Structure 1
Amino acid sequence: MTAFRTTRDVRSTPEGLLWEPSARWVRGRRGEVTLVDSRHPVLVWEPDVPVPLYAFPRDEVRVDLLRPARNPPTGTHTGSRIFYDLELDGELLANAAWTFPSADLAGHIAFEWFGRVGRGLDHWYEEEEEIFVHPRDPHKRVDALASSRHVRVEIDGTLVADTVRPVLLFETALPTRFYIPREDVRLDLFVPTAHHTACPYKGTADYWSLRGDAPVAPNIVWSYPDPLPAVAPIRNLLAFYNEAVDITVDDEPQARPVTPFTESLERRKRN
């Protein structure tokens, strides 16, 4: 019988890992082949990495398809020393899996996620729902709330959006994002791009860049045309990076936050 836990069970290791047992049924596939079918997964947070990964008991992994890595990397995944190549249908996927050095996680194997790093297993499921990029953090919350706040967005002194019907998206550890109806955005000032990103909490986003030569990063505006059900109110609305534009809410200017996106936005602007 599985013991029921009424509190979070996050544990730490001497190597700096945090880990927590999960009650979710998790499966990982490469194409149509199931490599992981686990009812006892463990969530693992590596130092200085804001999102978790799963690790799985060996007996819930197709270890028969794993081979000792021919060229294991160094300095990755918290000093892991044992890496595996995945051999499947004549294809060899280098360093697709690994074990963590911690004794607490002995007997567990983790996998790369294609949606996160461009290699590894390309389909993941929690229960019957497909998940993307990385596991959703049980300590993180995302809420999309309709609002009547007056939100104005300016770029280099030009008003590009003005609304009193935004949807505010509150996401743990990130600034509030203001999603604005398209009718309240000067879309004539922007051009759609081929850029897309995927989020395990929201879905897949489309992007726009500002026309002209204003000193702002490309892909400054995004929208989720088909968001995940939990954030359905943001469907087809437009959001701006608070880190790179000037936002006023109810006549109160908002400070530009410093987030993990700040450096990449500055770098994209310079390029």
Structure 2
Amino acid sequence: METPAPVVEATPRRIRVRLGDRLVADSSRALLLIQYGEHRLPTYYLPAGDVLAGALAEEAPGPRGERTWTVRAGGRQAAGAARAHPDPSGVFAPLAGHITFSWRQLEWYEEDERVFVHARDPYKRVDTLRSSRRVQVSAGGQVVADSIRPLLLFETHLPTRYYLPFEDVRTGLLEASDTVTACPYKGQARYWSLRAGDTFVRDAAWSYPDPVPENPKIRGLVCFFNERVDLDVDGVRLQRPITAWSVAE
């Protein structure tokens, strides 16, 4: 799928950033950078004047030529956790004089709610629809799941995902994985690998045991990577999409 062009726009949300229990930045004038690609996800940039005095120290060049800083607050520090955009020109010109922070090292809040992984894209939709289509999942010549009560999840720029009840899955072929991922639109996912005969597919399926309130219908269902196993919908084999998840890391 084609990667959309980057966009910078103002957000009406109050954005706060914390290191542990200490506030690092607080702004009602943040800019949202919406971009996708390798190592690129939506994030907020806050005016440098809305970063608390003394929070930034030890300026150093980043891997792409950008300015970076160590963040310090409350006796803690996060090396390289603040950075300026490497080239605030063209579409990125509004980002001059603004700072963004690491989502992995610091905590972000939109108003009073914690936000994980990256900023949410206001132009992305995640719709879930119950369906009576017959969905079959197979690997290694074996049928792994067969359901006529899937929940279809449609997420902008991504393949359709088919969430199935565990009762419709041969769970004896699944092996619990240590992999855990998080998504700002759905929550925290746990994974299963698949062993069907001589075929082993690592992290072939996932489930959200406690999804975010905006997507309650996916709770307790299991979804298989279209990219890693074969899916038939109403008897028609789906082409495996090529995405960032085509091969397990």
Partner of 1:117: none
Give the corresponding residue for 2:114.
130
Matching of residue 86 in structure 1 with residue 67 in structure 2: no
1:18: how far off?
3.2
Cα separation, 2, equivalents of 1:62 and 1:217: 48
Contact 1:150 / 1:250 at 8 angstroms: preserved in 2?
A: yes
Task: Pick the aligned partner of 2:95 from 76, 89, 105.
Answer: 105
> How many equivalent residue pairs?
239
For normalisation by structure 2, the TM-score amounts to 0.89
Distance 1:232 1:27 in 2: 26
* CA-CA distance at 1:47 after TM superposition: 6.9
Aligned to 2:54: 64
Q: Distance in 2 between matches of 1:207 and 1:84?
A: 35
Higher RCO (CA-CA < 8 Å; seq separation 6+): 2
* Aligned residue number for residue 243 of structure 2: 259
Secondary structure of the equivalent of 1:104? helix
| 1:176 has 2:176 as partner | no
State the percentage of identical aligned residues: 44
Change (3 A) 1:213 1:252: closer
1:149-188 matches, within 5 Å, as 149-188=133-172
Which structure has more strand as a fraction of its residues? 2
1:44 equivalent in structure 2: 33
What amino acid is aligned across from residue 234 of structure 1 in structure 2? I
3-state SS, counterpart of residue 177 of structure 2? strand
Residues 137, 231 of structure 2: 8 Å contact kept: yes
CA change 1:110–1:22 in 2 (3 A) is same
By how many angstroms is 1:48 displaced? 3.3
Compared CA separation, residues 247 and 201, structure 1 to 2 (3 A): same
Partner residue in 2 for 1:25:
14
Paired letter, 2:100: A
Q: State the Cα deviation string for residues 163-200 of structure 1 (Å, max 9, x = none).
A: 11010000011100000001000001111122100000
**Structure 1, unpaired ranges of 5+:** 1-15, 115-119
Alignment match, 1:10? none
1:189 equivalent to 2:173? Answer yes
Distance 1:143 1:214, change over 3 A: farther
Letter in 2 for 1:89: G
Structure 2, unaligned runs of 5 or more: none
Name the counterpart of 1:95.
80
Q: Measure the CA separation in 2 of the matches of 1:46 and 1:84.
A: 22
Secondary structure of the structure 1 residue equivalent to 2:202: coil
Instruction: Specify which structure has the higher proportion of helix.
Output: 1
User: 1 CA distance for matches of 2:237 and 2:156?
Assistant: 22
Q: Residue 139 of structure 1: CA displacement?
A: 1.4
Q: Letter of the aligned partner of 2:148 in structure 1? A: V
Secondary structure of 1:59's partner? helix
Task: Determine if contact 2:54/2:72 at 8 Å carries over to the other structure.
Answer: no
SS of equivalent residue, structure 2 residue 49 = helix
> CA 1:47 to 1:197, structure 2 compared with 1: closer, same or farther past 3 Å?
closer
Residues 183 and 87 (structure 1), Cα distance of their counterparts in 2 relative to 1, 3 Å cut:
same
Q: What is the TM-score with the length of structure 1 in the denominator?
A: 0.82
SS at match of 1:218: strand
